Structure 1
Amino acid sequence: MTEHRPSAVVLGGSLAGLLTARALAAGGARVTVVERDALPDGPAPRKGLPQARHVHQLWSGGARALEELLPGAIGRLRAAGVSRVPMTTDMVALSPYGWYRRWAESAFMLPASRDLLDWVVRGLVLADGRIALVERAEATGLTGTGGVVTGVRIRAHDSAERTLTADLVVDATGRGSRAAGWLTGLGLPAVERREVDSGLVYASRPYRAPEAARAGFPVVNIEPDPRGSGTGRGGVLMPVEDGKWIVTLFGGRGDEPPSLPGEFERYARDGLRHPLIGELLGGGAEPLGEVAVTRTTANRRHFFERMPVWPENLVVVGDAVCALNPVYGHGMAVAARSALAVRDVVRRRGLGSRGLAREAQQAVGRTVRAAWDLAVGADVFYPGATEEGPTLRDRVLAAYVGRLLRTATGNGRVARRVTDVTALERGAEALLAPSVVVAAVAGPLKPTLAAPPLTSEERRSAGL
């Protein structure tokens, strides 16, 4: 007789789905990943991920989770040319309150093209013999009842339909998830939901960096100032693998960045709060492609963990739970941390045990909380972001965070604490420690910087 191994079906073969598949396999399951697209063999674009053209970075809180799920993943990324960027040591950033100093490292980031990162993760996950991939097929609905999900119906590209039974179904289908509707179709109450839409539009273009600036050049970030007259103009220059820069510009309603190449660089030079990114592009950077534009940037969260009842054998992860404005760079880190949380629940409870799905869903809800609060706390103040406007809680938090950010421009200890929370190394409660509150009240210890904190060598390498 052979021992029964529990089975799981993961819907969605992007980062959240693949890492959750790995988490379930580590818990002893046979896993089938169902993906709507045909996944590329290398670091190439795919139809279901149009946002891949924009800047992506994996914050260290997510990188540590990735490495725990896939030992050797960070080494593979580094071998493929991905840099490890210490924060804030190798970032030149203009906050709403002035330039940040380049303090000693606390957290770090791994900046990479999304195609490369997905390819590395995909290769490691699918090398696991416990995980199978079904491509060019999509889920059409759950099977079972409001009490117990027994599987999922899928339709292949040739319209053939079949049912996959499973001890656990995971929805990782992203912003287009139909999980909320499927649940009401099973007779469950509507899921609590909140959306905060800043209206930001993103435009990105890849460049070949000047030869002298292809190694060790810092990330450049011009943040918007919500106190000003603009509606969110900002930009990021992200050095990635192969000596490339990806430049993403963004702006809110009425201030959208242009899609035409010449206007794109003019916006970077003349349309932001400081012309640094435009000056860097004019210093010898070579355009490598057209401008890509994305308008789907709303923060949207389904509070599945608050449901009064939850069916056995169903978990929802990734953007299907909490889709975040990409400007904060938290989506991939949250996906990795959520997969790790699911793994821990499965290891502790055992796949198929009663109540496991609800506990796992609550664990996922906890992992998204900090990133959600950071994004919504800023975006809710954009005109038209919500019908009701900022809540009292939103206003109180924003006032305190504003004090912290101003203090961080001239206080290294506070800057490192803020960076640790941003990198998801610590929870937001770290910002409420008595010593941090006192520092925020006292304000910055050093005067505001008058110019971007680039070294003379960095300026020469970039042709400034």
Structure 2
Amino acid sequence: MDRSRGADGAADDGLADDGVVGGAVDSATAGRPDRGTDRSRRPAVRRAVVLGGGFAGMLTASVLARHAERVLVVDRDRLPAGPLARAGLPQARHGHLLMASGAASLEALLPGLTGSLAAAGARRLSLPGDLVTLTPHGWLPRIGEASHGWCLGRDLLDWIVRARVLADPAIELVQGVHAEGLAGDSRRVTGVRVRGGAWPDGHELAADLVVDATGRGSRAPDWLAGLGLPEVVQERVDCGLVYATLLVRAPDAAAAFPSVSIRSGPEAGPGRAGVVFPIEDGRWLVTLSATRGAEAPRDEAGFHAFARALPHPLIADLLPLCDPLDQVRRYGNTADRRRRYDRLRRWPAGFAVVGDAVAHTNPAYGHGLSVAAAGVLALARALERHGADDGRVTAGVQRAVHRTTRAAWSLATGQDVLYPGVAGARPTRGDRTRARLGERLQAVAVRADGTGGDADAVLRALVRLGTLAGRPADLARPAAVRALLRGPAPEALPGREPPLSEDELALLGDCAHRRYDRARDGVV
């Protein structure tokens, strides 16, 4: 393809304003209304390019559309025309939780979106009320709402976001195209080299602003090195977690059944855990996981056996009541990884990195979507403050995006580094001290009784911290400090059985119900 330039000096990339790529209409952009004049101000730049059409990429496109005449979203896959699986997102078959903080970021970026999630069947979980959680110290009481989260299938979430974003006529999706590298130099990125679609290998797609949202497989460190920038420091902590998920049809009577989380701690050797995610259309995603030294199940028989071997058989008791809808799916790309772009003294104008391409943590903690949304919101706020045409803005964006990763990174690595055989790091004395503090806090939290006492304050603070809605400083408030100093009271610990209502117990059937009743009464 010959490169030609129009009167404005911009490269002709064969991409017309009607979404035509090489003469073929892109189904994701066809039939849209004209842009009209609904922009509140004149766009600062002519073209912005987002690499990656996933969750973070689409949110980024919605932000850039406020500042650019055109936004091109470039993705290597052909994205499905509906809430269906896509080839480049194997983790979509597993459970995802949008934390309260992530939902707040999503609402700030796309107002009304959580209403769309609810209308599509997403389940809003009141926390800790709608979560049955077993810690090494006992069951957490299900009292009130300290925070919340949204459970839904990843395919549905991506589809709702994608449909909302692509309704903006300034945004165009270009599919089946791979990003090969950055154009420009160490001072400014002027575009991206691509291959695929109507373009020959190495074609230079000119842009005033390029944002990498290509996820965990991002090649941005290599691309920056190719521009003459220093090597990017990369941090990694890998506890070897592998998880397996089975999609099931939940019993009709289980529409309001709570989510379940059962986990062993690092002190018990290899970590083993099980989680039940209630999602749309009366389905559950049941996920079982194991860290290095143990093995997640590979088939349905092994799945049931693994669930039975967890510290409590609740998930194993639920599984026979469900109808499997898929085979067991395994996933092992779970290491905590962070690229320290914030440490680079030089940064090229016209380039930014967001989402998992910056940092991603062990998905067992459920923070990925929320951190990605927070990072894009940081981008939005930086562009509002400085303007998209300010050559200094992208260095500031990277520092702001890095700040949004800190809490989740600290929570995940602080736990993962303690498991046997961890790779990439070793626990320090500080890590072990913080772990002991966390254990004591959990032991206090199981004493919460909903009367507003000090243990209640600890439980609320832990829940808010775990959903990224709170701060570590909340645990330094007087009520939490008093409860921490007083410590756990063994005689006040709840029984050995889960805090389920009579209706919830009835779902498990007579046999399990009687067994749980006997255990509560101390009968072996």
Amino acid at match of 1:117: L
Matched, 1:443 2:443: no
Query: Sequence identity of aligned pairs in percent?
Result: 47
Q: Secondary structure at the match of 1:353?
A: coil
CA displacement, residues 331-364 of structure 1 (integer Å, 9 cap, x when unaligned): 0011111111110110111002131001111110
CA distance in 2, matches of 1:249, 1:259: 10
Specify whether residues 187 and 435 from structure 1 end up closer, same or farther in structure 2 by C-alpha distance, changes over 3 A only.
farther
Deviation at 1:100, TM superposition (A): 0.4
**2:349 equivalent among 306, 312, 317:** 312
Q: Secondary structure at the match of 1:87?
A: strand
Q: Is the 8 A contact 2:241 2:334 kept in 1?
A: yes
Deviation at 1:169, TM superposition (A): 1.1
Match in the other structure for 1:234: 273
Specify whether residues 212 and 385 from structure 1 end up closer, same or farther in structure 2 by C-alpha distance, changes over 3 A only.
same
Deviation at 1:416, TM superposition (A): 1.1
Matched, 1:118 2:158: yes
**1:179 equivalent among 180, 199, 220:** 220
**2:503 equivalent among 453, 457, 460:** 457
Matches within 5 A, 1:325-336: 325-336=362-373
Amino acid at match of 1:370: A
Q: Is the 8 A contact 1:82 1:111 kept in 2?
A: yes
Match in the other structure for 2:111: 71
Deviation at 1:46, TM superposition (A): 0.5
Matches within 5 A, 1:283-432: 284-410=321-447, 411-432=455-476
Matches within 5 A, 1:83-162: 83-157=123-197, 160-161=200-201, 162=203
Amino acid at match of 1:247: V
Amino acid at match of 1:379: D
Q: Secondary structure at the match of 1:359?
A: helix
Max Rg structure: 2
Q: Secondary structure at the match of 2:427?
A: coil
**2:316 equivalent among 272, 278, 287:** 278
Match in the other structure for 1:61: 101
Matched, 1:170 2:211: yes
Matched, 1:248 2:292: no
Deviation at 1:5, TM superposition (A): 4.3
CA displacement, residues 365-397 of structure 1 (integer Å, 9 cap, x when unaligned): 011110010000000111222355112332232
CA displacement, residues 253-311 of structure 1 (integer Å, 9 cap, x when unaligned): 23112111111112111x211111011112x2111110000011100011111112211
Match in the other structure for 1:47: 87
Specify whether residues 29 and 450 from structure 1 end up closer, same or farther in structure 2 by C-alpha distance, changes over 3 A only.
farther
Specify whether residues 388 and 428 from structure 1 end up closer, same or farther in structure 2 by C-alpha distance, changes over 3 A only.
same
Match in the other structure for 1:34: 74
Specify whether residues 388 and 297 from structure 1 end up closer, same or farther in structure 2 by C-alpha distance, changes over 3 A only.
closer
- Provide the TM-score with structure 1 as the length reference: 0.95
Q: Is the 8 A contact 2:237 2:425 kept in 1?
A: no
Specify whether residues 244 and 160 from structure 1 end up closer, same or farther in structure 2 by C-alpha distance, changes over 3 A only.
same
CA displacement, residues 79-127 of structure 1 (integer Å, 9 cap, x when unaligned): 1111211000010000122110002102111100111111111110111
Specify whether residues 67 and 405 from structure 1 end up closer, same or farther in structure 2 by C-alpha distance, changes over 3 A only.
same
Range 448-457 or range 384-393, more displaced: 384-393
CA distance in 2, matches of 1:462, 1:31: 52
Matched, 1:225 2:265: yes
CA distance in 1, matches of 2:215, 2:194: 17
Match in the other structure for 2:37: none
Specify whether residues 4 and 422 from structure 1 end up closer, same or farther in structure 2 by C-alpha distance, changes over 3 A only.
closer
- Provide the TM-score with structure 2 as the length reference: 0.85
CA distance in 2, matches of 1:225, 1:241: 30
Q: Is the 8 A contact 1:5 1:30 kept in 2?
A: no
CA distance in 2, matches of 1:337, 1:366: 10
Amino acid at match of 1:201: V
Match in the other structure for 2:520: none
CA distance in 2, matches of 1:387, 1:364: 23
5+ residue gaps, structure 2, are 1-7, 9-40, 448-454, 513-524
Q: Secondary structure at the match of 2:123?
A: coil
5+ residue gaps, structure 1, are none
Q: Is the 8 A contact 1:26 1:343 kept in 2?
A: no
Range 118-127 or range 381-390, more displaced: 381-390
Specify whether residues 4 and 341 from structure 1 end up closer, same or farther in structure 2 by C-alpha distance, changes over 3 A only.
closer
CA displacement, residues 139-160 of structure 1 (integer Å, 9 cap, x when unaligned): 1000111111111111115772
Q: Secondary structure at the match of 1:308?
A: coil
Match in the other structure for 1:261: 300
Q: Secondary structure at the match of 1:43?
A: coil
CA distance in 2, matches of 1:433, 1:36: 49
Range 1-10 or range 260-269, more displaced: 1-10
CA distance in 1, matches of 2:374, 2:69: 19
Q: Is the 8 A contact 1:403 1:441 kept in 2?
A: no
Matched, 1:195 2:236: yes
Residues matched between the structures, number: 460
Q: Is the 8 A contact 1:27 1:343 kept in 2?
A: no
Q: Secondary structure at the match of 2:435?
A: helix
Range 137-146 or range 431-440, more displaced: 431-440
Q: Is the 8 A contact 1:194 1:300 kept in 2?
A: yes
Q: What value does the CA root-mean-square deviation take over the aligned residues?
A: 1.8
Q: Is the 8 A contact 2:292 2:422 kept in 1?
A: no
CA distance in 2, matches of 1:195, 1:297: 11
Higher relative contact order (CA 8 A, sep 6+): 1
**2:246 equivalent among 195, 200, 205:** 205
Amino acid at match of 2:468: L
